[in-house]
Amino acid sequence: MSTSTNWRELEQRISKVIKTGVRPVAVAFLDAAPEGVKKFEGTQPSGCSFWRIAAEGRTFYTIPENHFNCAVGAYTHNLALSPEREKETEKTLKMMFDLGYVKPEEVLQIPRLAKAPKAIVYSLLAEAPVDPDVVLFAPRPAAAMLLQEAAGRAGVGWVRRRWGGRHAWRCPLRCSSARLRAWGALGIACTLG
């Protein structure tokens, strides 16, 4: 696997200015399993759990089936679920509506990949084995402001999107331009490319 950018150097440069407490996580959505990257084994309760595992220093890739435990994650990744799992998505959304976590009209605003990936690579930014589509930051408020200002000065813009509820709704999966996409409870996501 090769990458066109020195992600280690970039992470070091960012870390000199932005103090986050958690290292940035790189995420890449691929059409095939990557060579030289270990496949994730086991299960997790949500797709967001993979971010935490990568932040702990593991580099791995998942396949669509690894994301079937999370109805919302399957939705954002545009993964087809079995009819039984589709019912879980409906139940999950109904519960979220009832709790006021999200409004029905907000569902269409939840970012969703245009097509389902065959593999998703997770790693620390410095150790990215492939060019990431998204880099996740978990900054403190002052660092979030610096990231926002840096994006503006770099001309890549800032998309002010904040969905109600917790981090699962901040999954920034539209990988069409380089910009900061979303921020909230878990952190900031910067899409690349």
Per-residue pLDDT of the chain (193 residues; tens, 9 = 90+): 556 788 999 889 888 888 777 899 999 999 999 999 999 999 998 888 999 999 999 999 999 999 988 888 888 899 988 887 888 888 888 888 898 888 888 878 778 899 999 999 999 999 999 999 888 888 878 887 887 787 777 776 554 444 444 333 333 333 333 334 444 434 445 444 4
Confidence at residue 174, expressed as pLDDT on a 0 to 100 scale: 35
178 domain residue, yes or no: yes
Is residue 24 in a domain?
yes
Residue 2 located in a structural domain:
no
Q: What distances in angstroms separate CA 177 from CA 20, 61, 68, 110, 190, one per listed residue? A: 24, 23, 27, 17, 10
Q: Please give the tally of structural domains in the chain.
A: 1
Q: SS3 helix, strand, coil % of the chain, rounded to 5? A: 35, 15, 45
For residue 19, tell me if it sits in a domain: yes
**In a domain? residue 139:** yes
Provide the pLDDT for residue 193.
44
pLDDT of residue 172: 39
Give the model's pLDDT for residue 2.
58
Residue 11 φ then ψ, to 5°: -60, -40
List helix spans (H) across 20-59: 48-55
Structural tokens at position 167:
């981090």
Residue 70 lies in a domain: yes
Structural domain span for residue 172: 7-191
User: Does the model's pTM come out above 0.85?
Assistant: no
